[in-house]
Amino acid sequence: MVLNHIMGLYVHPKKEWQEIGLHKETLVSSLTHLLFIALIPTVCAYIANTYIGWDLGISKTLLLTPKSALLMSVGLYAGLIGGVFALAYIAYWMAKTFDTAPSYSVALELVVYTATPMFMVGLAALYPTLWLMMMIGLCGIAYSIYLLYSGLPIMMNIPEDKGFMYASSVVTAGLVLLVSLMATSIILWSHGFGPVIQ
């Protein structure tokens, strides 16, 4: 099962990528992992938004109404899953440029494992302080990028020098995708889908 590799990616990532590369997982296993791991930031954000409250450095903590928090959590869950699918498709599409031809399930597996540290950062939402979330979030992003650079050559069966350029292209596409998701959120908020504070 895909969840078996999580600890190995934290303890000895290159060795674990080689293990993942040898035993290709099915598309169903990758989807199971993605659907499960994307629940972590979603559920933690819902709890933080409705029961704990966000400390933004102002006089009081901010709480959302349960209905608003649920709507925001569903949107977060859909955005995370959609973002992973989109980035996997971009990695799959770019493969031809770097003289490799993986299946979409291999690209999805790579992106799902790479995104796992960013999703695990969602646990920090249970202590919803803005500066702490930013610090832990940056660590999660940095480790995800490291996993991408170390795992892409192994998963896509290409030399490391090509893997560096390929991974850099995927990181750039991921940043563009992230900005697009943020812009979509802002547009939705301005059309009445924003948070409702208690």
Predicted confidence (pLDDT) per residue in 22-54, tens digit: 877 778 888 888 999 999 999 999 998 899 887
Query: How do residues 112-162 score in pLDDT, each as one tens digit?
Result: 999 999 999 999 988 888 888 889 999 999 999 999 999 898 888 888 888
Stated pTM of the model = 0.87
- Quote the pLDDT of residue 65: 87
Q: What is the pLDDT of residue 3?
A: 59
Domain ranges for the chain: 24-193
Considering Cα of 35, then 39, then 42, then 43, what sign does the dihedral take? positive
Alpha helix stretches (DSSP H) within the chain: 6-11, 13-22, 27-37, 39-47, 66-94, 104-120, 130-156, 160-188
Longest dimension (CA), the chain: 56
Q: Each residue of 49-88: b (16+ CB within 10 Å) or e?
A: bbeebbbeeeeeeebbeeebbebbbebbbebbeebbbbbb
pLDDT value, residue 135: 93
